[in-house]
Amino acid sequence: MKKEERIVTNLKLTDLSKRYGQVEVLKHINLDIRSGEFMVFVGPSGCGKSTLLRCIAGLEEITGGTLEIDGEVVNDRAPSKRGIAMVFQSYALYPHMSVFDNMAYALKIANAPKDEIESKVAAAAEQLQLTPYLQRLPGQLSGGQRQRVAIGRAIVRDPKVFLFDEPLSNLDAALRVATRIQIAKLHEDLNKTTMIYVTHDQVEAMTLADRICVLRDGRVEQVGTPMDLYERPESLFVASFIGSPQMNLIEGDKAKPFNAHTVGVRSEHMTVSPDGGAWSGTVIHTENLGADSYVYIDMGQEDPVVVRVDGSTKYRSGDAIHFSPLDDKIHRFDADGKPIA
């Protein structure tokens, strides 16, 4: 029955703001997070994404507006009473306690019966392949194992909402991918418990999220599914932030024929020909990745234009090249960075 109750879980941020003295870090944030959703907060460093997460956790006081969890305003409720669990970037394991005690700590504080603690910890350890390490101290574990203990500590509390604060940024590249998949699987296994995940890595955001919330300077820039953001960015900022390699932005005279201040085209939405096209330039660098290649073209702008071609490319540095965008894939922006319909 508990699973059914969870479906109503809903996070609602209304006009939420946070100031430190005179500095406004979060500016009137309005956001609905649906139950069972994997929501990712993404943005450049200093955009307020971690602060927003800490406000939801209750680690930072909310200066203005309201935060509702399951329809109740929880602004002044203690972190432990909000039904949330948090996984920190630095793991924040209790170094003097064994893995078992780390995971059991919250239940012990809540005076749960001993056999319940043991069965819950054992279940979480099983799920995260931590069973052989239960009696070890955090110092005797590898980085990936520590991260799993941190996640296990959150699972044991059986929260309504999981909060992740850049949990992968301390791991090396290979481990990062593996743990990312593990978190996605965890979301499935936990019957789609609501998860809020903060990252500055847009690849993580794209691969994990049901919906992404792009933040910039303490404001919500755009909220939508990863494909929404990729295909229909509502601002120049989102357009350039989401996607790798970055969207090509072409300004000035070369954008005039398209009736826009700035034209944005993704590298895979261009065609190349040796003669004749909308734009032309000189190849300055090529990257052959096997399945596809990236051609870097200097066309008199600050940043080179990157064009993706299938297979390997025959172009070399110094070659003259012509290329044009696919007509229905161009993004046009006005001088304020807003899209032109």
Partner 1 sequence: MTAVTESADLDAVKYEVRRKNWFARIRLGRVLTHILLLLMVALWTLPTVGLLVSSLRDKDQLAVSGWWTALSASEALGVTRIGTAAEQVAEAGHFVIRGNLFGSDTNKQLGGFGLSNGEPAATEPGGSMAMKEGGTISVAADGGFEWTSDTEFTHTRGPRIFYLATIAPRFTLDNYYEVLTSNGVWRSFINSFTVTIPATIIPILIAAFAAYALAWMRFPFRGFIVALVVGLLVVPLQMSLIPLLTLYNQLAQLFGAEDGKTYLGIWLAHTAFGLPLAIYLLRNYMVGLPKEIMESARIDGASHFKIFTGMVLPLSFPALASFSIFQFLWVWNDLLVAMVFLGAQQDRLVLTGKLVSLLGSRGNNWEILTAGAFITIVVPLIVFFALQRYFVRGLLAGSVK
Using CB under 8 A, list all residues that contact partner 1. Answer: 57-59, 78-81, 84-86, 88-96, 105-106, 109-110, 137-141, 146, 153, 157, 170
The least CB distance from residue 225 to partner 1, in Å, is: 29
Reading the block at residue 294, the tokens are 């990236």
As measured in angstroms, the least distance from the Cβ of 200 to partner 1 is: 18
How far apart are the C-alpha atoms of 123 and 327, rounded to whole Å? Answer: 54
Through-space distance between the first and last CA atoms of the chain, rounded to whole angstroms: 47
What span, in angstroms and rounded, lies between the C-alpha atoms of 125 and 116? 14
Residue closer to partner 1 (CB basis): 25 or 87: 87
Check if the beta carbon of residue 269 is closer than 8 Å to that of residue 327: no
* Residue 82 or 211 having the CB closest to partner 1: 82
DSSP string spanning 54-106? HHHHTSS---EEEEEETTEE-TTS-GGGTTEEEE-TT----TTS-HHHHHHHH
Between 91 and 241, CB nearer to partner 1: 91
- How many beta carbons lie within 10 A of that of residue 156, not counting itself? 23
Least Å distance, CB 91 to partner 1, is 6
CB of 72 to partner 1, least distance (A): 18
Distance of alpha carbon 252 from alpha carbon 261, whole angstroms: 6
Nearest residue (CB) to partner 1, 73 versus 110: 110
Distance of CA 139 to the CA centre of its chain: 29
Our CA dihedral for 46, 228, 15, 55, rounded to 10 degrees, sits at -50
Within the chain, strands assigned E span 11-20, 23-33, 38-42, 64-69, 72-73, 84-87, 161-165, 194-199, 211-216, 219-224, 248-251, 262-265, 270-273, 279-288, 292-298, 305-310, 320-325, 331-333
Q: Taking the complex as a whole, how short is the minimal distance between the CB of residue 341 and partner 1, in angstroms?
A: 45
Q: Closer CB to partner 1, residue 78 or residue 291?
A: 78
CB of 45 to partner 1, least distance (A): 18
- Which residue, 165 or 221, has its beta carbon nearer to partner 1? 165
Q: Nearer to partner 1 by C-beta: 170 or 280? A: 170
User: Cβ closer to partner 1: 138 or 224?
Assistant: 138
Report, in Å, the least distance between residue 53 CB and partner 1.
Answer: 12
Minimum Å distance from CB 138 to partner 1?
3
Token readout for 235 is: 């601002």
